[in-house]
Structure 1
Amino acid sequence: MSIRIEGTTTPDFASLADVFSAAFTGHDAMGAALCVRAGGETVVDLWGGTADPRDGTPWTKDTTSVIFSCTKGLVSILAARLVQDGLLDHRAPVAAYWPEFAAEGKGGITVADLLAHRSGLPAPRDLLNVEDVIDWDTVTGRLAAQRPLWAAGQGHAYHALTHGWLVGEVIRRVTGKTVGQYFDELVAAPLRADAWIGLPPEAAHRVAHMRAGSSLTALVAQQAAARVAGEVDWAERAMTLGHAFPPELVDATGGFNDPRVQAAEVPGAGGIASARALASIWSSTVVETDGVRLLDVGTVTDAIRPQTEGTPLFGGQPPFPRWGMGFQLPSLAREFVGPASFGHDGAGGQVAFADATHQVGFAFLTNLMEAGADHRATAIVDELRRILRQAAHGDHEDLEDRRR
């Protein structure tokens, strides 16, 4: 059964429509959207498939979806902007902004440590439930009081969910606004972008229903079988927080499908947006987009210097991601379009990033969550890289012809 793809592309980027269409092959009841901006202009805006397989609701131009860890990229943009404005210092101790954080020997942990997954707080020692995680003060209070899982400077591990509360609380202490409020004020409202950290009730009907695909459910089962009885699996707890989320992050009505979670500010993974909004946001970090330029060149250069790479403390299989100041950098684990790319992917196949060299903002979103060798977004990014390199090569040849 062929999927009807809607939307537009410019001629130079038309081949991305074919790769986007191919992403639906073999995936039943999947919905997805793709948007690319280049030089501030929209060159790809596509969508198709099913937003809610329970009743067959189609994915439309106005559909939004949970973006999972792509939310960390948005929070990292906020932190970078505070550094740019002279209100936040990467080298400063977190406790300079959040005094309670110094408890249990955490006084030397810096803002850079928080951003780069080095703080030793990737998961709570105490088990949390849904009621806990939708209460901001409960989670941040627990993290501030917690003894780290390792001493500062002794390693890193992905802070799958806690990253958002940790960095978000620093943002709240600096600005006096919640991370969702600051995001709306600085980013979403000026860009007129359909993106939220904390979904308003009036937008709830537009959110796609998320579903775990076969590869994700198989991976969760494999990990459960390998777990050692009586030992804490810290990587698993980083995702579930104990009892707050299923290992897949969603089920039929719970996890990030839960309206309570969507309405709460869960800035490690709970952002909701359209692909069009995300592409515009990332574009505005590297080029003026719809009258907005969020970050200057120096800020981006500083924020994408590698901070963390290599084998994490709780293991896992290579290749491993690389991190700047909260931004995911190009690696074998997540290739973007070039060395000047930065952004963040998200559970289940979401990908959003910018590239400073090509002045690109990119977003691919899907509600069918897969794992492991999920090549849907990867194939699209590979084709975009080919297009950009071909264009750059053509520009070089034109310049040489003019010189002759």
Structure 2
Amino acid sequence: MADLEGVYDPRFAELAERLSENLDTGEELGASVAVVVGGESVVDLWGGWADRRHMVPWRRDTITNVWSCTKTVTSLAALVLVDRGLLDVDASVARYWPEFAAGGKKGVLVRHLLSHTSGVSGWDRPVTVADVCDVPASTARLAAQAPWWPSGTASGCHLLNYGHLVGELIRRIDGRTLGRFVAEEIAGPFGADFHIGLPDSEFDRVADVVPPPFRSSDLAGADPNGVAVRTFTGPVGGAEESWRPQWRRAEIGAANGHGNARSLARIHSVIACGGTLDGMRLLSPRTVDQIFRQQTDGPDLVLGAHLRFGIGFGLPSPAVPYLPSGRICFWTGWGGSVVVIDTERQAAISYVMNRMGTGLLGSDRTDQYVTAAFASLEKART
């Protein structure tokens, strides 16, 4: 069994065993898992390697690109403004961002952006990854284009532009960019090592992701002009893009957050605990309740899976069998990283790795860790 570093409550031994086994067999290259309950860390484990050559160990302060787990932090930032009475989820986006009304988007509401139902799940082609990294210019492009389906009628995961859209709302209201807002209002106050827009000084700590196996059949037979293809190919770019300095530096609030399981579990435990953590109030219970206002329940136009979205987070659905029922919200990152928040158990669970797996809503490893964590949480309640 591979050696692990960190600490864990003995009740979570099965979770530790699963991580150790996967590191031992090579299923994992390097990874971290964390569980926070009632604001207290009960699992903080890491192990393996930060590089493919097995030269640099995954350390306590190793961070990596967590892909779409970034979206949950972006959502939390928006909810902070909701809590302060500065952002109304039922108001039109154009109330705060007048240019967004162009192209027939006057009726798009803030909650449509936060629930992936705005009709703007990507950029009109042609668009490149370099364009996406130029956040002001690519955000202006989103404001100008027409929606790809009627807003509010269905979800279509906003793969790369979620943070451009929500981040622009934050900038229009607060004046700070998304990355700065997160640093000053969320990550900094709670001591979480999480970054949207990574300073060059932190590059040496990054474990580059190992891309998942290529599958040319993923979009085979799909309508070339349909929402899924337009979203996945606008722009075309592989996981290797995350190795580039321009990607790391940009504030891409849908996909380029850098952190580890500890920082994600720490941040999201404020939701698990009803909005207050370590005596610091970030959200009211009423604002936390907004997360669980179901907005959709059906096939996602981009991912194809049957999903339920609340405001800012996914909710348990048949597409995510490793989540139990209850007052739970979550989201995953490409390759398997995950954040799960259980407000009934006051628990936040996270897993972050560098060897990316396959699967749209978590990998087999994601399933193993989350299932083991919930089994231990259930034992702790009895």
TM-score, length-scaled by structure 2: 0.93
CA distance in structure 1 between the aligned counterparts of 2:303 and 2:255, rounded to whole angstroms:
22
Which residue is 2:51 aligned to? 52
Q: Does 1:351 align with 2:338?
A: yes
User: Residues 208-243 of structure 1: CA distance to partner in whole angstroms, max 9, x if unpaired?
Assistant: 1101233xx2xx321254456xx3354244244234
Conserved 8 A contact 2:208-2:242: no
Q: What is the root-mean-square deviation of aligned Cα atoms in Å?
A: 1.9
Task: Name the SS for the 1:185 alignment partner.
Answer: helix
Identical residues among aligned pairs (%): 39
- 1:246-395 equivalence runs, <5 A: 246=238, 250-251=239-240, 255-287=241-273, 288-313=276-301, 316=304, 318=305, 320-334=306-320, 335-372=322-359, 374-392=363-381, 394=382
**Contact map agreement 1:197 1:270 (CA 8 A) in 2:** yes
Q: Distance in 2 between matches of 1:147 and 1:303?
A: 27
Residue aligned with 1:353, SS: strand
Distance 1:76 1:62, change over 3 A: same
> Which amino acid is the alignment partner of residue 300 of structure 1?
V
CA-to-aligned-CA distance 1:296-330 (integer Å, 9 cap, x gap) = 221111222211120133572x4x22111111112
Distance 1:258 1:199 in 2: 11
Give the aligned residue type for 2:217: Q
SS in structure 2 opposite 1:381? helix
Residue 221 of structure 1 pairs with residue 216 of structure 2: yes
- State the match for 2:186 in structure 1: 187
1:29 CA displacement: 6.3
Q: How big is the shift at 1:390?
A: 2.2
Corresponding position of 2:76: 77
1:10 matched residue in structure 2: 9
2:225 aligned partner: 232
Cα distance in 2 for residues equivalent to 1:188 and 1:314: 30
Aligned partner of residue 50 in structure 2, secondary structure: strand
5 Å matches for 1:152-231?
152-214=151-213, 217=214, 220-223=215-218, 225-226=220-221, 231=224
Which segment drifts farther, 156-165 or 271-280?
A: 156-165
Contact 1:286 1:296 in 2 (8 A): no
Write the distance in 2 (CA, Å) between the matches of 1:162 and 1:381. 27
Counterpart secondary structure, 1:269: coil
Gaps of 5+ in 1: 395-404
* Code of the aligned partner of 2:315: L
Whole-Å Cα distance in 2 between the matches of residues 184 and 315 of structure 1? 30
What are the equivalent positions in structure 2 for 1:121-160 lying under 5 Å apart? 121-160=120-159
- 1:224-275 deviations in Å (ceiling 9; x for gaps): 54456xx3354244244234x22xxx13xxx112121011000011100121
For 2:216, the aligned partner's letter is A
Q: Of the two, which has the highest radius of gyration?
A: 1
> Retained in 2: the 8 A contact 1:122–1:157?
yes
What's the CA shift for 1:131? 2.5
The normalised TM-score by structure 1 is 0.88
Deviation at 1:26, TM superposition (A): 4.3
> Alpha-carbon deviations, 1:40-69, whole Å to 9, x = none?
111111111111114621111110011110
Distance 1:199 1:374, change over 3 A: same
- 331 and 154 in structure 1: CA distance in 2 versus 1, 3 angstrom threshold: closer
1:106 match: 105
More displaced, 137-146 or 331-340?
Answer: 331-340
**Deviation per CA, 1:166-204, whole angstroms, max 9, x where unpaired?**
111111111111001110111111011110010011111
Cα separation, 2, equivalents of 1:80 and 1:351 = 20
Report the number of matched residues. Answer: 377
Question: Could you list the runs of 5+ residues in structure 2 that have no partner in the other structure?
Answer: none
Aligned counterpart, 1:399: none
Matched residue, 2:117: 118
Task: Map Cα deviations across residues 75-133 of structure 1 (whole Å, 9 max, x no partner).
Answer: 11111111111010011000000000000111011001111111111121122123211
SS at match of 1:336: coil
- For 1:91, the aligned partner's letter is D
How big is each residue's C-alpha offset from its partner over 1:141-174, in whole Å with a ceiling of 9 and x where there is no partner?
Answer: 1000001112224433111111111111111111
1:365 is paired with a residue whose SS is strand
CA 1:284–1:313: 2 relative to 1, 3 Å:
closer
Q: Who is 1:401 aligned against?
A: none
CA distance in 2, matches of 1:239, 1:26: 32
